[in-house]
Amino acid sequence: MSTPSDKCPWSKQQIRTARRIHLKPLLERKGMTFHETGGDNYRVREYPGLVIRYHYWHWFDYDKKGNTIDFFTMVLGLTFADAMREIEALSH
């Protein structure tokens, strides 16, 4: 049985929205730099082989890909909760 403390503090809609926030402005606020490769694709200079486009990313060197939340958890190593908090903070 779940308790109120087990409940996710974000609604399904908030999570859905966070997945679709464009990565480039968020990562620029974190100080990351990019090289435009055309077609709205950008290589992230701090992560060789990693390309972002809108809210999607693909790290070819590691065969990993995903959405904005996945970037913060899989690439930056944050927990889901920390990723959501950071995305919220960076998107305002």
Q: Please report whether residue 56 resides in a domain.
A: yes
| Full DSSP string of the chain | ---GGGS-SS-HHHHHHHHTS-HHHHHHHTT--EEEEETTEEEETTSTTEEEETTEEEEGGGTEEE-HHHIIIIIS---HHHHHHHHHHHT-
Sequential pLDDT tens for the chain (92 residues):
444 556 889 999 999 999 999 999 999 999 999 999 999 999 999 999 999 999 999 999 999 999 999 999 999 999 999 999 999 999 98
Tell me if 74 is assigned to some domain.
yes
Is the separation of the CB atoms in 90 and 29 below 8 Å? Answer: yes
Q: Are 31 and 25 in contact (CB under 8 A)?
A: no
Domain containing residue 82: CATH number: 3.90.580.10
The total number of structural domains in the chain stands at: 1
